[in-house]
A = this chain, B = another copy of it.
Amino acid sequence: MADGSSGAKPSGEDALIARLFAPIATHPGALGLKDDAALLAVPPAHELVLTKDALVAGVHFFADDPPEAIARKAMRVNLSDLAAKGARPLGVMLAFAIPPDMDVVALEAFARGIGADAALYDAPLLGGDTVRTPGPFTISLTAIGAVPTGEMVRRTGARAGQAIVVSGTIGDAALGLALRHAPERSGFTALNGEERAFLLDRYLLPRPRLPLIRALREHASAAMDVSDGLIGDLAKMLDASGIGGEIDTARVPLSPAARRAVETEPTLLEVALTGGDDYEILAVVPHHALSRFHTVATTAGIGVSVIGHTVEGQGLMVRDGDGAPVSFARGSFSHF
């Protein structure tokens, strides 16, 4: 049953939200969170890039994750989309639904997480909405970015005969999640405490690759962020571009922790390559631009690795280090 009024909030809740979030919303366009809407100027000769991801407790994060980390994850998965499109953040609009058992301390921590990342990534909180829910903690965030007009990097621009590259390392987050579910697996018991902490942290806190935005705009023919798993996401991007591709699993960059887990328990390679939550950048770059792309990325402190190349035709061929075709059980991303 709907309650007395759509807009009704428990007494004092407006004041609580104002106390927690108004100090974060320092951008003049947020109007102190006191108006119906936010106001935002767009830089001249720029277009808007808009993305929106929702996260649900128990589905996209663990309900007992630190609220500050949940907030930062909500910020970062959206900022990661902007990064992949070559867009710099202008701000975010945040809505969240508070479950009955969420207390003020948790809300304070959640607000701190939003504020910390808004400052870190220059992505100010502009406005939003807070509601009550009988269900799980649910967050929806819209990130607003800008690119010079005509320069957004799409999924559709890749051509045959170009390099397939990824930033950072792949599989850490998926392994971190698998570790939370089944720490007794041999691949995980082989890790030391620092390695386990590294994987867990990579699941908890994505790193949006915003330092790559200029390199992507200047050199990439197509890009996306890896959220649903490297193999599946690459297959989608190749499809969108109307071409095929081949990658070599031995060239996929793994962190030392991921490498040790996979070497100890080889079936974890599939988790790493298909599990998702990487929030690394997957891009296609013409060979002639590779060295400049690599230089700009390295200067920005972000590693990039060539893992394969695009081909005429369609579908994604995945080969192991010896050139033998690999197929995975999960998903329908392999087209052969």
Q: From A36, A47, A130, A135, name the one whose CB has the most chain B CB atoms within 10 angstroms.
A: A36
B residues less than 8 Å from A288 (CB atoms)? none
Least Cβ–Cβ distance between A25 and chain B, in angstroms: 12
A174 sits at the interface (CB 8 A): yes
Least Cβ–Cβ distance between A120 and chain B, in angstroms: 20
Q: Is A36 within 8 A of B84, CB to CB? A: yes
B residues less than 8 Å from A129 (CB atoms)? 52-54, 140
Q: Is A47 within 8 A of B40, CB to CB? A: yes
CA–CA, A145 to B127, complex, Å?
Answer: 14
Q: Is A52 within 8 A of B93, CB to CB? A: yes
B residues less than 8 Å from A56 (CB atoms)? 97, 131-135
B residues less than 8 Å from A152 (CB atoms)? 37, 39
CA–CA, A240 to B34, complex, Å?
Answer: 8
B residues less than 8 Å from A82 (CB atoms)? 37
Q: Is B40 within 8 A of A50, CB to CB? A: yes
Q: Mostly helix, strand, loop or mixed at chain A's interface?
A: mixed
B residues less than 8 Å from A53 (CB atoms)? 95, 129
A228 sits at the interface (CB 8 A): yes
A8 sits at the interface (CB 8 A): yes
Q: Using an 8 Å CB-CB cutoff, how does the interface string of A31-61 with B read, 1 for contact, 0 for none? A: 1001111111110000111111111101111
Q: Is A50 within 8 A of B38, CB to CB? A: yes
A136 sits at the interface (CB 8 A): yes
Q: Is B95 within 8 A of A54, CB to CB? A: yes
- A interface, how many residues as a size bin? 35 or more
Q: When A7-B227, A127-B51, A131-B56 are in contact, do A36 and B2 touch as well, CB less than 8 Å?
A: no
Q: Is B97 within 8 A of A138, CB to CB? A: yes
Which of chain B's residues has its CB closest to A277's CB? B6
Which of chain B's residues has its CB closest to A40's CB? B48
Quick one: which of A162-189 are within 8 Å of B by CB? Answer: 174, 177, 180-181
A81 sits at the interface (CB 8 A): yes
Which residue of B132, B145, B181 contacts A1 across the interface (Cβ within 8 Å)?
B181
Q: When A36-B85, A138-B133, A152-B39 are in contact, do A5 and B95 touch as well, CB less than 8 Å?
A: no
Which of chain B's residues has its CB closest to A80's CB? B36
A322 sits at the interface (CB 8 A): no
The 7 residue pairs across chains A and B that have the minimum distance between CB atoms: A135-B135, A140-B140, A7-B228, A54-B95, A37-B51, A5-B276, A142-B142
Given contacts A52-B95, A135-B136, 5 further A-B contacts (CB under 8 A): A36-B225, A48-B144, A56-B131, A93-B142, A95-B140
16 contacts between A and B (CB under 8 A): A31-B154, A34-B155, A35-B240, A36-B84, A37-B87, A41-B149, A51-B93, A52-B140, A54-B131, A54-B140, A129-B140, A133-B135, A133-B138, A134-B136, A135-B138, A140-B140
